[in-house]
A and B are shown apart, each in its own frame.
Chain A
Amino acid sequence: MQQLLIIIKKEIIIALREKLVLVLGGIMVLLLGIALYAGFLSYQQQQTIITQKQAEKREEWLHQGDKHPHIAAHYGTFVFKPKTVLSLFDFGLDAFTGTSIYLEAHHQHEFMFRPAQDHSSMIRFGELSATLVLKVLIPLLIIFLSFNAYTRERESGTLKLLISQGISFGTLSWGKILAYCTILTIILSPFLIGLLLFSWVGNPSQAMPDETLRLVLLTLAYGVYLFLFISFSVWVSLRSSTGRNALLILLSSWIFLTILMPKTVVNLSKSLYTLPSMREFKEAIEQGKVYGLDGKTPRSERIASLEKRLLEEYKVDSVHQLPFNFEGVKMQDGEEYTHKVYDHHFGKIKETFHRQNRLSSFASLINPFLSVQNLSMAFSGTDMYTFLHFEEQVETYRREMIRKMNNDMAENSKYGEFFEYAAGRDLWEELEDFSYQPPTVGELLQQYRLELASLFIWTALFLLLINYTNRKMKPLHG
């Protein structure tokens, strides 16, 4: 233990006296600071707009005046995806998925205001965010910090002197690994403190009740990921004969793990599980609405069938004799059929998304970068799963809104009298304001179990590998 502490202290002192480490460390602190501050400003700005607009739209809904419920259903309203305070850390898919959606009868609209639309194609390479620095650039710092952990000792001859003092390779390796972990903690501390402060300032409880737990899990996931990079670098250095070889292996691995493989997985998932174009998708939905899901049941037939069924059920000859406004029931029936059409086509899209994500999850078993990327977005609430979860709640809300309008129309107005009936604020108030309940941490852990398994397996593998290599190692070959 004493030896371990002495090694840690020595490695830290030496690293802090290296100009390259100081310069790179300083750049990382600066980049993280900029990313954090920019992320916070963006979060604050968007959150303010969202809160304000959400309140405005609610007021508009409540104060729309007396009108026919179906007109109100078309007048509709907007809902906004709340920004989570952790999205300042990882923007995730927010730039691509959009932030607001218009809710009205008959149509399940797509999300609007996607920040990516306002950017050039360069956004695909990633905006400067804290997660980009942590996932991609900090590993580069780790490589420059530790590629010569052993090779420099070997090349300069200090390794022989160290081992002649009775120190084992195990103590030496762990001393180096823990020293680099400490240096990294020092570099990342201002960022972590800043993130905590911004989380408090950002009034987190509004959007995400379990934000503290998510923050802890985020820290843990990144901690494990960076520990893996440190262990890998030290292990490569231990196995390499020269610093040049170690650096070459580590830089090649970095390019493969953080750039090539993630891009390849995305392209592969897009090729294997193709999404229809927006035009094809909308056309298919329109066809489904007009001609039925089987293509043989047109809308007029469905209406005639409903009319026949109701007339038989209530034993009357005309829809005028029904104890409710047939128009309202017809609207709701049409709406429910439209739901089936949307569920069918959106279901296929969601299944494709699910398959694409599953490929990325499986690939994360090979590449911990993908694990931390997926977990980071998940805990920040900016991943595809959370987006689809939000979309589902929005659609449930829209359907409830339309159902209320149609039911009111059926119960309170007469068939053939459209403009004569007007509902008022009592009805609008029946529809509660939209409030999103994000998935719990438990759900996320279940959803991202492969990513978690990947980090666990890689950690176990590296611990075994380092211990095995330490046991077999001699300062000289032979």
Chain B
Amino acid sequence: MLQATNLTKKYGNFTALNSLNLSVNEGEIFCLLGANGAGKSTTINLFLNFIEPTDGTASIQSMDVTKHAKETKQMLSYIPENLMLYPNLTGLENLDFFCGLGGKSYEKEQLVELLQQSGLQPDFIHKRVGKYSKGMRQKVGIALARARQASVLLLDEPTSGLDPKASNEFSELLLDMKEKGVATLMATHDLFRAKDTGTHIGIMKEGELIEQFASADVSFQDLEKLYLKHMHN
């Protein structure tokens, strides 16, 4: 579903990402762990075609994202660390707007249902997003991903700054989407969330994917030790 082949991004002499190879299949959640500047967000941005790769390819459903920007974007949904919506529009209006842009048309009642399923309190559905907390905005993002019926989910530290309850709800929603066959690539600092939600984990350091394994193959303690070992070396 998601494939990075020798994916490289350089800014002058600085290598932000060096020859990354990874794949994420249907129903998998691949969590990228790493310190700031490890190359996690660069990877996500390359899959989104927000930046051009220096070398290699990022592909979705075997389509190079730089050559098939429109087609590949129609398959994905993206939730950044801090999902920003239009503060002067309500949650419902924001969802309607972004769904429309993606070519999906829903009745108002269906959109309300999607927002409720994503955990947004009914009282807030018709309120302007300017009054939303970060967790509420992330839930609109999840509703959008559901509404778009995305087969690929790209998440850039989506639970950063969320309270434990909101973070937990978010993980549940991810697992729900995983069950529906969505391939998810998530950049995160949260080891616990990666172990808890991810099917695969990759550790990145200085633009390189230095280790990747199935989540089930390690315990949380082992993961923590492994991560700290790499960070200290």
Interface residues of A (CB under 8 A from B): 2-3, 6-7, 10, 13-14, 17-18, 156-158, 160-168, 474-476, 478
- In the complex, are the beta carbons of B51 and A14 less than 8 A apart? no
Interface residues of B (CB under 8 A from A): 9, 11, 45, 48, 50-52, 69-70, 73-74, 76-78, 80, 82-86, 88-89, 93, 97-98, 100-103, 148, 154
Number of cross-chain contacts by CB at 8 Å:
72
CB contacts (< 8 Å) of B80 on chain A: these are 157, 160-161
- In the complex, are the beta carbons of B73 and A6 less than 8 A apart? no
- In the complex, are the beta carbons of A158 and B84 less than 8 A apart? yes
- In the complex, are the beta carbons of A157 and B84 less than 8 A apart? yes
In the docked arrangement, what's the CA distance between A381 and B63, Å?
62
- In the complex, are the beta carbons of B11 and A166 less than 8 A apart? no
In the docked arrangement, what's the CA distance between A164 and B65, Å?
11
CB contacts (< 8 Å) of A161 on chain B: these are 78, 80, 83-85, 98
CB contacts (< 8 Å) of A3 on chain B: these are 100-101
- Of all chain A residues, the one with the shortest Cβ separation from B82 is A157
In the docked arrangement, what's the CA distance between A13 and B128, Å?
12
10 residue pairs of the A-B complex, CB under 8 angstroms, read: A3-B101, A6-B101, A10-B89, A13-B93, A160-B78, A161-B83, A165-B101, A166-B73, A476-B50, A478-B51
- In the complex, are the beta carbons of A13 and B100 less than 8 A apart? no
Q: With A161-B85, A166-B70 given, name 4 new contacts (CB 8 A).
A: A157-B80, A158-B86, A163-B48, A166-B73
- In the complex, are the beta carbons of A478 and B11 less than 8 A apart? yes
Given contacts A17-B88, A157-B82, whether A164 and B76 have CB atoms under 8 Å apart is yes
CB contacts (< 8 Å) of B85 on chain A: these are 158, 161
In the docked arrangement, what's the CA distance between A191 and B3, Å?
58
CB contacts (< 8 Å) of B86 on chain A: these are 10, 14, 158
- In the complex, are the beta carbons of B103 and A2 less than 8 A apart? yes
- Of all chain A residues, the one with the shortest Cβ separation from B48 is A164
CB contacts (< 8 Å) of B82 on chain A: these are 157
CB contacts (< 8 Å) of B74 on chain A: these are 166
In the docked arrangement, what's the CA distance between A90 and B9, Å?
58
In the docked arrangement, what's the CA distance between A14 and B87, Å?
9
In the docked arrangement, what's the CA distance between A474 and B51, Å?
7
- Of all chain A residues, the one with the shortest Cβ separation from B79 is A161
- Across the interface, A474 reaches (CB within 8 A) one of B11, B52, B89, namely B52
- 5 nearest CB pairs, A to B: A166-B73, A157-B84, A164-B78, A165-B101, A17-B88
CB contacts (< 8 Å) of B83 on chain A: these are 157, 161
CB contacts (< 8 Å) of B45 on chain A: these are 476
For the complex formed, measure the closest distance between the CB of B65 and the CB atoms of chain A, giving whole angstroms.
11
- In the complex, are the beta carbons of A160 and B50 less than 8 A apart? yes
In the docked arrangement, what's the CA distance between A13 and B93, Å?
10
CB contacts (< 8 Å) of A13 on chain B: these are 88-89, 93
In the docked arrangement, what's the CA distance between A165 and B48, Å?
10
For the complex formed, measure the closest distance between the CB of A238 and the CB atoms of chain B, giving whole angstroms.
16
In the docked arrangement, what's the CA distance between A164 and B50, Å?
8
- Across the interface, A476 reaches (CB within 8 A) one of B51, B84, B93, namely B51
